[in-house]
């Protein structure tokens, strides 16, 4: 079995890390560079940076913040928010990101997935999918969760894979920030239909939730914010817990260079 990845998420607005509940009630959580440094030191497998108001504010992502973060970390770094074309992807990758995450622009122009994969490789293209339960089923939302579409989320994930996405970042809007656990039904519906990695997002409150997402939900990686930002758990604790329950994870076997004793 491939090792499961633990991915802290930095939701950014106006250059600051924030966290909300159900995509609203946003509160400040600190400086993105300081958080990135901490998660890199702690042994996170990757880092996700999402400028959550870039699309809704109709502005470009904060490239200077991306550059500052990328200068300070050594783990893979995914960046999303306000990406409208291949040129934006190029700018973000040049700023130091390893992958780009697209959401609204992918829904509006699905061929952007294909174009990005052709230019930079599928491994660089993460399609983020914000999902909410409706009477008619799971539906895709865009513009930072502000606008509902009539697109079935499961079908859209399959289509994104066909177009060349290398990974899916699936966020349950119903669970976001609630700490009630990931939407396992949603995850199982998607992971049973696609062959690319799925990152579970939205709802983590305990280490058990992380275990459920990868074992029951079939996720390849788990994304979390609140439990790490507010000191409830650490990355090393998470990995030891999962390893103890038989989940393969990457363990940090040595200290970072700047932490080694002289």
Our CA angle for 56, 133, 152, nearest 5°, is 75
> Which is catalytic among the residues 11, 42, 88, 183?
11
- Can you read off the two tokens belonging to residue 15? 């250059």
Q: How do residues 32-51 score in pLDDT, each as one tens digit?
A: 899 999 999 999 999 999 88
> Which is catalytic among the residues 45, 51, 130, 183?
130
Q: Where are the domains of the chain?
A: 5-246
- Can you read off the two tokens belonging to residue 105? 């622009």
The pTM score is: 0.90
Tell me, what's the pLDDT at 82?
A: 86
- Count of CB atoms within 10 A of residue 250's CB? 14
Q: What is the rounded distance in angstroms from the CA atom of residue 238 to the CA atom of residue 147?
A: 34
Q: Which CATH superfamily is domain 5-246 in?
A: Aldolase class I (3.20.20.70)
Could you confirm whether 11 is annotated as catalytic?
yes
Q: How do residues 149-191 score in pLDDT, each as one tens digit?
A: 999 999 999 999 999 999 999 999 999 989 999 999 999 999 9
Q: How confident is residue 18, by pLDDT bands cut at 50, 70 and 90? A: confident
Q: Which of 62, 19, 63, 16 is closest to 36 using CA atoms?
A: 16
Average pLDDT over every residue of 218-225: 96
CA dist 22 → 19, 46, 52, 203 (Å) = 10, 24, 13, 9
- Position with higher pLDDT, 205 vs 259: 205
- Burial label, 215 (beta-carbon count in 10 A; 0-12, 13-18, 19+): middle
Could you confirm whether 176 is annotated as catalytic?
no
- Can you read off the two tokens belonging to residue 124? 């660089």
């Amino acid at each position: 079995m491939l090792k499961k990845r633990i991915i802290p998420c930095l939701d950014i607005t106006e250059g600051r890390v924030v966290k909300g509940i159900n995509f609203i009630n946003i509160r400040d959580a600190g400086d993105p560079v300081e958080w990135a440094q901490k998660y890199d030191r702690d042994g996170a497998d990757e880092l996700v940076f999402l400028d959550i108001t870039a699309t809704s504010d109709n502005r470009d992502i904060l490239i200077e913040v991306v550059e500052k973060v990328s200068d300070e970390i050594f783990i893979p770094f995914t960046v999303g928010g306000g990406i409208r074309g291949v040129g934006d992807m190029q700018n973000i990758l040049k700023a130091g990101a390893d992958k780009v995450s697209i959401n609204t622009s992918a829904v509006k122009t699905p061929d952007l997935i294909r174009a990005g994969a052709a230019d930079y490789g599928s491994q660089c293209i993460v399609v983020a999918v914000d999902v909410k339960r409706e009477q008619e089923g799971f539906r895709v939302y865009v513009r930072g969760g502000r606008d509902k579409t009539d697109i079935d989320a499961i079908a859209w994930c399959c289509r994104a894979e066909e177009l060349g996405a290398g990974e899916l970042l699936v966020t349950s809007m119903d669970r976001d920030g609630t700490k009630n656990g990931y939407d396992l039904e949603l995850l199982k519906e998607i992971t049973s239909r696609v062959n690319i990695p799925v990152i579970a997002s939205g709802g983590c409150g305990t280490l058990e939730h992380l275990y459920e997402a990868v074992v029951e939900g079939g996720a390849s990686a788990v994304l979390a914010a609140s439990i790490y930002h507010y000191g409830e758990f650490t990355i090393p604790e998470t990995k030891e817990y999962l390893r103890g329950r038989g989940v393969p994870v990457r363990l940090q076997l040595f200290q970072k260079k700047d932490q080694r004793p002289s």
